[in-house]
Amino acid sequence: MRHQQLPTGTLDWLTRRTSRAADWPPRALVEAKGGTRISVVIPAHNEEATIGDIVRVIRHELMCRLRLVDELLVVDSRSTDATARAAHAAGARVVRQDDVLGELPPADGKGDALWKGLAASSGDLVAFVDGDLRSFPPEFVTGLLGPLLLDQDVAYVKGFYHRPLTDSRGTVPDGGGRVTELVARPLINLHWPALAGFVQPLAGEYAGRREVLERVPFVTGYGVEIGLLVDLLHGVGLDALAQVDLGSREHSHQSIPELGRMATQILLTVQRRLAPHAHPLAQSSTALAQFLRGGSGAVVDREVVVTEVTVTERPPLAAVRDGVPTDLLRL
């Protein structure tokens, strides 16, 4: 295997559009903010253990002390625990995913919660952060906002970080991001090499300008991050995209079967963007067969679990506001 450099254009972008959270001092952001309204949106499903601390940090550090963030919104994605109560008690405005634009057909998934959060918020700049982070420094928000506030040519910013994976055997410093390394990164390098400089293409922390975010569709499930990257590359160009090193991210990790379902959604999202006018479901199946330990099957000593992994997509929010038909697109 030969090691070689990134393509020249990608390497130039990586040098020019990559920064660290420390490069964007919060006081400088407040000065640059002017009349810009800033919203932070957190999609949350059964995150009662972590959501309160995240909300408290943002409220105390970025709303009360610095006056940088104007709106903090938690989108409760059908939680069955006390997520909504914990978020509200910590000071967030909480909306139920199904109550936002409730006249539209319902959809499942994180991407739908993000899209609903965009619809329910009012900021000119909107930052999205996940609700399962175990340690949440304010730099996770200020780092994302820095390039947007201080460079008007930047339209969208993704975070990246080290992702330690901890289990009963110990901690692997960069053991997280398994779907990124095994699925998303190879696909990006094959089909969209201009995006190969993104360190964490599936990162859940990102921010953008509302007028840009409202012009792109949102995949309702786990394909939302790669879908946004590809669509924004085509919509605003590589130079309008940036990334910021946010340090380290500690969060809950999913099981291998769950990662398999996530990977399938990402593959379906990519397939649609490679052939936007084709009908892939006519040729391929969205039934994912997995073999789990246990069970007593007649053929294999495994439990066979078959999951229908369907992916839907919300249209650009601007189209909804303009009265364009709003049916869910099935990928």
Q: Which class for 123: exposed (0-12), middle (13-18), buried (19 or more C-beta within 10 A)? A: buried
The first and second tokens of residue 71, run together, are 């709106």
DSSP-derived 3-state class of residue 223? coil
Lowest-confidence pick of 5-9, 150-154, 157-161: 5-9
User: Does the pLDDT of residue 164 top 60, yes or no?
Assistant: yes
Model pLDDT, residue 257: 80
Longest Cα–Cα distance of the chain, Å, equals: 69
Q: Left (φ > 0), alpha (ψ -120 to 50) or beta: where does 175 sit? A: alpha
- Residue 297 binned pLDDT confidence (cut-offs 50, 70, 90): low
Other Cβ atoms closer than 10 A to 285 = 9
Q: Are 140 and 128 spatial neighbours (Cβ–Cβ below 8 Å)?
A: no
User: Does the pLDDT of residue 228 top 50, yes or no?
Assistant: yes
pLDDT tens digits, 12-21: 999 999 999 9
Please state, in angstroms and rounded to a whole number, the distance separating the CA atoms of residues 158 and 106.
28
| Beta bridge partners of residue 159, listed in sequence order | 244
User: Does the pLDDT of residue 198 top 50, yes or no?
Assistant: yes
Model pLDDT, residue 178: 81
User: Does the pLDDT of residue 291 top 90, yes or no?
Assistant: no
Mean pLDDT of 113-123: 98
Q: Helices marked H in the chain — which ranges? A: 8-17, 26-33, 51-57, 83-90, 110-120, 139-150, 178-179, 185-191, 210-213, 224-236, 256-274, 317-321
DSSP-derived 3-state class of residue 171? strand
DSSP-derived 3-state class of residue 170? strand
The share of the chain scoring above pLDDT 90, in percent, equals 71
pLDDT tens digits, 70-100: 999 999 999 999 999 999 999 999 999 999 9
Model pLDDT, residue 168: 57
